[in-house]
Amino acid sequence: MRDYNVGIVGATGAVGAEVIKVLEKRNFPVKNIKFLASSRSAGKYLKFKEENILVEELNENSFKGVEIAFFAAGLDTSRQFAKTAVSSGAIVIDKSSAFRMKEDVPLIVPEINKDKISEHKGIIASPNCATIILVMAIYPLCKLSKIKRLIVSTYQSTSGAGAKAMEELLVQTKAYLNDEKIVKEVFPHQIAFNLFSHNTRIYENGYNDEENKIIEETKKIMDDSDIKISATCIRVPILRSHCESINVEFENKTTVDQIRESIRNSKGVKLVDDRENNYFPMPIDSSLKDEILIGRIREDISRENCVEIFVSGDQLLKGAALNAVQIAEELIEK
């Protein structure tokens, strides 16, 4: 296997920093690496495999020689520069929502639909973090029976809003404990010792942007437009790792033991379901871990052919950086 010229757009952000770590940890075959960011961050140095590398300002000429470009800088940046990168010869793996629902852009979670990667036309989309955690959790279940309906409630950490949001939680917590004024800069509401509806705009259907992403992206990834999905997304005062409570309705009867066995035999997930000790998935356990933790598995006593599960996954890893790098690994393998 040969080495590749890699670029990371948004290298100084929370997700970009995780992409760098994941590339190192998984020994991705990097020949040269280019760190790209806004003018505010240009001029800094970031370390990659013990080498200090200058962060360059992102512009139209940034992608000369780049073969794989990870985009982790947000919607507007992807819209402005992704096609430029493709025109320069790079394959873009984009973490933003800019291209996810485009018909000619594959939306990939490698454990589920890596066969779709070859359909790309220069851009491959990585799903929303909450969507990735959801589909990773239900994929072992759909091997047992077709899923008719999902009701998901998310408990999303501040890492989903970036490094500044994580810092805001720490600063507000310190202020709260010292009886000082709470300053809100990133979130519209106090995040320390509080929780609130996900801070994205509400659409005419009553669902916010995050909830609509989960609904539409899940259908695309699972290649099932008939599945019924309802989502409620909540921001909680946790630094990293999202949690989700998921109610799954099957076409056929599926037992708790069958579900546990399927999880044990599936990649990228881990069973954490200890009823005796009341020990189930928690952010403190899933943080900095590659696997999605699944537990609290029980039959829904109010409805036939339904089960409840609770899951937790690191938003910055499998929910973002790890999934993107896994896409790149599958890409070069093909």
**pLDDT tier at 163, thresholds 50, 70, 90:** confident
Same domain, 247 and 139: yes
pLDDT at 162 (0 to 100): 87
Amino acid (1-letter code) at residue 325: V
Same domain, 153 and 288: yes
**pLDDT tier at 124, thresholds 50, 70, 90:** very high
Closest CA to 105 of 126, 130, 128: 126
- 3-state secondary structure at position 207: coil
Q: Structure tokens of 295?
A: 């537990």
How many Cβ atoms are within 10 Å of 227's Cβ, its own excluded?
A: 18
Q: Are strands 91-94 and 123-125 parallel, antiparallel or unpaired?
A: parallel
How many Cβ atoms are within 10 Å of 269's Cβ, its own excluded?
A: 22
How many Cβ atoms are within 10 Å of 288's Cβ, its own excluded?
A: 12
Same domain, 148 and 265: yes
Q: Is the pLDDT of residue 126 over 90?
A: yes
Domain that holds residue 93: 4-127+320-333
**pLDDT tier at 330, thresholds 50, 70, 90:** very high
**pLDDT tier at 174, thresholds 50, 70, 90:** very high
Which member of 120, 142, 242, 243 is catalytic?
A: 242
185-211: per-residue pLDDT in tens? 999 999 999 999 998 999 999 999 999
Same domain, 222 and 294: yes
Same domain, 164 and 64: no
| Percent of residues, the chain, with pLDDT higher than 70 | 100
Same domain, 288 and 146: yes
* Contacts (Cβ under 8 Å, ≥6 apart) of 24: 48, 49
pLDDT at 1 (0 to 100): 74
In the chain, which ranges are continuous DSSP H helix? 14-25, 75-87, 110-113, 129-142, 163-177, 209-221, 256-264, 283-286, 322-333
- 3-state secondary structure at position 193: coil
Question: What one-character DSSP code corresponds to residue 119?
Answer: G
Q: Is the pLDDT of residue 20 over 90?
A: yes
Task: Please calculate the CA angle 261-263-264 and round it to the nearest 5 degrees.
Answer: 65
CATH number at residue 232: 3.30.360.10
**pLDDT tier at 6, thresholds 50, 70, 90:** very high
How many domains does one find in the chain?
A: 2
Contact 129, 322 (CB under 8 A): no
In 129-253, which ranges are continuous DSSP H helix? 129-142, 163-177, 209-221
Residue 294 φ/ψ, nearest 5 degrees: -130, 130
Tell me what the pLDDT averaged over the chain comes to.
96
213-258: per-residue pLDDT in tens? 999 999 999 999 999 999 999 999 999 999 999 999 999 999 999 9
Q: Using CA atoms, how far apart are residues 267 and 59, in angstroms rounded to an integer?
A: 39
What is the rounded average pLDDT of the residues 42-61? 94
Amino acid (1-letter code) at residue 35: F
Same domain, 309 and 328: no
144: exposed, middle or buried (C-beta count within 10 Å: 0-12, 13-18, 19+)?
A: middle
Q: Is the pLDDT of residue 24 over 80?
A: yes
Between 11-15, 122-126, 146-150, 231-235, the lowest mean confidence (pLDDT) is in: 11-15
128 to 55, 140, 227: CA distances (angstroms): 26, 19, 18
Q: Using CA atoms, how far apart are residues 97 and 229, in angstroms rounded to an integer?
A: 19
Active site residue 129: yes
Active site residue 242: yes
Same domain, 147 and 230: yes
Q: Using CA atoms, how far apart are residues 61 and 171, in angstroms rounded to an integer?
A: 38
CATH number at residue 95: 3.40.50.720
246: exposed, middle or buried (C-beta count within 10 Å: 0-12, 13-18, 19+)?
A: buried
Contact 284, 213 (CB under 8 A): no
Same domain, 152 and 272: yes
Same domain, 198 and 92: no
- 3-state secondary structure at position 8: strand
Closest CA to 105 of 87, 133, 82: 82
83-105: per-residue pLDDT in tens? 999 999 999 999 999 999 999 99
Q: Structure tokens of 272?
A: 């954490």
Q: What does pTM read for this prediction?
A: 0.96
**pLDDT tier at 304, thresholds 50, 70, 90:** very high
Question: What one-character DSSP code corresponds to residue 214?
Answer: H
Same domain, 115 and 137: no
**pLDDT tier at 25, thresholds 50, 70, 90:** very high
Same domain, 71 and 148: no
Which member of 120, 129, 142, 233 is catalytic?
A: 129
